[in-house]
Amino acid sequence: MSTAPIGIFDSGIGGLTVAGAIRKLLPNESTVYFGDTARVPYGPKSPDTVRRYAREILAWLLQQDVKAVVVACNTVTAHALDELRERSPVPVIGVIEPGARAAVSATATGVVGVIGTAGTVASGAYRIALQKIRPDVRVMEQACPLLVPLVEEGWFDHEATRLIADEYLQPLRRHGIDVLVLGCTHYPMLKSLLHRVVGDDVRLIDSAAETAGELAHVLNEMGIAAPANSAPTQRWVASDDAARFAKVGAVFMGGSPAPVELVDLGQVKEASSTRESSTTA
Amino acid sequence: MSTAPIGIFDSGIGGLTVAGAIRKLLPNESTVYFGDTARVPYGPKSPDTVRRYAREILAWLLQQDVKAVVVACNTVTAHALDELRERSPVPVIGVIEPGARAAVSATATGVVGVIGTAGTVASGAYRIALQKIRPDVRVMEQACPLLVPLVEEGWFDHEATRLIADEYLQPLRRHGIDVLVLGCTHYPMLKSLLHRVVGDDVRLIDSAAETAGELAHVLNEMGIAAPANSAPTQRWVASDDAARFAKVGAVFMGGSPAPVELVDLGQVKEASSTRESSTTA
């Protein structure tokens, strides 16, 4: 048992859907969410740049004495998960593997659709993860760059959103997918609209919920889940523009904006391979 | 007369509409375009952060021996133009004043609409510039965060784009605007669609074209325009992901992608107040 917090991070606010799923599934756990709003978005950045940013954030989270780290960002998971796991003394959970496992379990036709940002699709991370579990699965990927800004505008149920989703998803439907992985942390906010667009025959896989399930599994297996009588706390931290983070965060998490702390990562040294040296750096 | 290049910069690729307008109006001039694609977008970042980035880019452009600098970015113009002008030994031209002057000349009703990113609208920069020229002008501003990603997708004439533009522009039309300032460097790509949405009674002001006109005026006035027999060169420089810059750049500029240089600004010191010290830094 441990009351230490879970560290969750994303390039911005999208990972809040993962934080929300964790809060729902594991209400006794304390969390520290870090959104790197000063450097969002990571998608168009080079893998080396993304890895450097991820190491800096890992170092900062370890300074907060987290007992596990959830990489609530598809771009970071695609480029940096292995390196973060090597450097971290605590377990590191990404958003790709849990969704891929759920998709392989759910498909009957063996044709799986994946939607994500341009960066995630270009990385081929879901295709690799899916075919590692089941080599003969056919993966149809589609980049949907307009869905993130539509979510951030709050246009969850707008006719323009439906038109755009329809245009993106038509080719996947023609290929006979029976499962669609929402491969971007923003997309769970569009779940009901996407469900209407693809129809009842296509099962949607919500990576945020699957990742929360994987975290629960790891905490239990390692015996570090919080006790039932814990008094959990939630910290929200951003590297820039706390006001916008609080506003969009409230749309994502429901309820009114919570106080957001501002942290300048310029002062944080990179994570080294042991917790001791990174917390004293 | 001078054959030194014009420095043009933006947080990303949007400023290429300004570069295109400059190339069209001033075909004898050499240019160096810097797109800070490693740190795009600037809109959600704090004014202090934007000013720091702008100082770094100015220092780099001065190292390239530019004879003038065009800030082809509304966010940087709003937050940093005065400071850049103080620090620069060469003239610095922003995108806001030229558009504001053209709008005031064009309006008969005295009601001017301005569309831009959330950051530009929140800064009030156009309102301030417009009312400085004509204090009694009424300014109706509207943030249109979805238009930039639609342009970057190349959906210049899509039904979804029309629906979204219509939703953004309805309130401005109800207020009786007769001029609409395209207060974002991406928007000239949507000029014909926006014209259809607002109708013939509303004159569109293209900030890119107005800024090119202002540059021509300054070069002539200072006697530093390139001679007619010059052999102009165009350099394209980005701080990350040159491939995407080249691809989207080709959509913006027409023609096939040009070679894009990659420059890491981490190595560049900030601009100091004289050219000598910044080029030797």
Contact B172, B142 (CB under 8 A): yes
**Pair B74, B26: CB distance under 8 Å:** no
In the block, which residue shows the tokens 């891929």? A100
Task: Dump pLDDT digits (tens) for B161-196.
Answer: 999 999 999 999 999 999 999 999 999 999 999 999
In which order are the strands placed within the sheet that holds A179-182?
A138-143, A111-116, A179-182, A203-206
Q: How many Cβ atoms are within 10 Å of B273's Cβ, its own excluded?
A: 10
Helices of type H across chain B: 16-25, 47-63, 74-87, 96-106, 118-123, 125-133, 147-153, 159-174, 191-198, 207-222, 242-253, 275-280
Residue B121 has pLDDT above 50, yes or no: yes
Hey, is the C-beta of A241 within 8 angstroms of any chain B C-beta? Answer: yes
Q: pLDDT, tens digit, for every residue of B220-245?
A: 999 999 999 899 999 999 998 888 88
Residue B278 has pLDDT above 60, yes or no: no
Q: How confident is the model at residue B267 (pLDDT cuts 50, 70, 90)?
A: low
Highest mean pLDDT of the ranges A30-39, B144-153, B211-220: B211-220
> Bridge partners of B180?
B113, B204
- Write out the H or E segment, with its range, that includes residue A16: helix A16-25
pLDDT band at B275 (very low <50, low <70, confident <90, very high): very low
Q: With CB atoms and an 8 Å threshold, state whether A153 touches B146.
A: yes
CB B116 within 8 A of CB B180: no
Contact check, Cβ <8 Å, B44/A149 = no
SS3 B114: strand
Q: Is A70 left (phi over 0), alpha (psi -120 to 50) or beta?
A: beta
If pLDDT is split at 50, 70 and 90, which confidence band does B42 have? confident
- Give the mean model confidence (pLDDT) for residues B52-81: 96
| Cβ pair A32, A4 in contact under 8 A | no
Interface test with A, best of B11, B147, B157, B163 (most A CBs within 10 A): B163
Q: Is the pLDDT of residue B264 over 90?
A: no
SS3 A191: helix
Chain A contact present for B275, CB below 8 A: no
Identify whether the C-beta of residue A118 lies closer than 8 Å to the C-beta of residue A96.
Answer: no
Give yes or no for residue B138 having a pLDDT over 50.
yes
Residue A271: the pLDDT is: 44
> Alpha-carbon distance A158 to A156, whole Å?
6
Name the β-bridge partners of A240: none
Among chain A residues, the shortest Cα distance to B164 is held by A160
Cross-chain Cβ contact B39/A44 below 8 Å: no
Q: Which is higher by pLDDT, B119 or A26?
A: A26
Taking CA atoms, what residue in B is nearest to A162? B160
Residue B257: predicted pLDDT: 62
Residues 20 through 79 of chain A touching chain B, CB cutoff 8 Å: 37-40, 44-46, 49
The pLDDT score that the predictor gives to residue A267 is 59
A25-28, Cβ contacts within 8 angstroms, sequence gap of 24 or more: A25/A209, A25/A212, A25/A213, A25/A215, A25/A216, A26/A212, A26/A215, A26/A216, A26/A219, A26/A225, A26/A226, A27/A232, A28/A225, A28/A226, A28/A227, A28/A228, A28/A230, A28/A232
- B205 has which bridge partners? B181
Task: Please judge whether A163 and B167 are an interchain contact, meaning their C-beta atoms are less than 8 angstroms apart.
Answer: no
- Extract the tokens encoding A205: 């896989």
User: How high is the ipTM of this complex?
Assistant: 0.78
The pLDDT of B70-89, averaged and rounded, is 96
Nearest residue of A to residue B122 by CA position?
A: A244
Please check whether residue A146 touches B, CB under 8 A.
yes
Q: Which parts of chain A have pLDDT scores under 70?
A: 255-257, 266-281
Q: Give the confidence band of B279 by pLDDT, cuts at 50, 70, 90.
A: very low
Distance (Å, whole) CA A182 – CA A220 = 26
- Interchain CB distance below 8 Å, A145 and B145: no
Searching chain B, which residue's CA lies closest to the CA of residue A46? Answer: B241
Q: Between A and B, how many residue pairs show a Cβ–Cβ distance under 8 A? A: 56
Backbone angles phi, psi at B8, to 5 degrees: -130, 135
Block residue for tokens 């579990």 = A133
A254 touches A229 (CB < 8 A): no
Q: Which of B23, B2, B4 is nearest to B220 (CA)?
A: B2
Cβ atoms of A236 and A261 closer than 8 Å: yes
Catalytic residue among A130, A147, A150, A184: A184
A144 is catalytic: no
- φ, ψ of residue A169 in degrees (nearest 5): -95, -15
User: How many Cβ atoms sit within 10 Å of the Cβ of residue B32?
Assistant: 23
Which residues does residue A111 pair with via DSSP β-bridges, in sequence order?
A138
Q: What is the mean pLDDT of residues B83-93?
A: 98
Higher pLDDT, B91 or A250: B91
Q: Catalytic residue at B184?
A: yes
Distances (CA, A) of A178 to A97, A139, A208: 19, 11, 20
Question: What percentage of chain B exceeds 90 in pLDDT?
Answer: 77
How high is the pLDDT of residue A257?
62
Cβ proximity of A72 and A14 under 8 Å: yes
A1 touches chain B (CB under 8 A): no
Beta bridge partners, A69, equal: A7, A92
pTM: 0.83
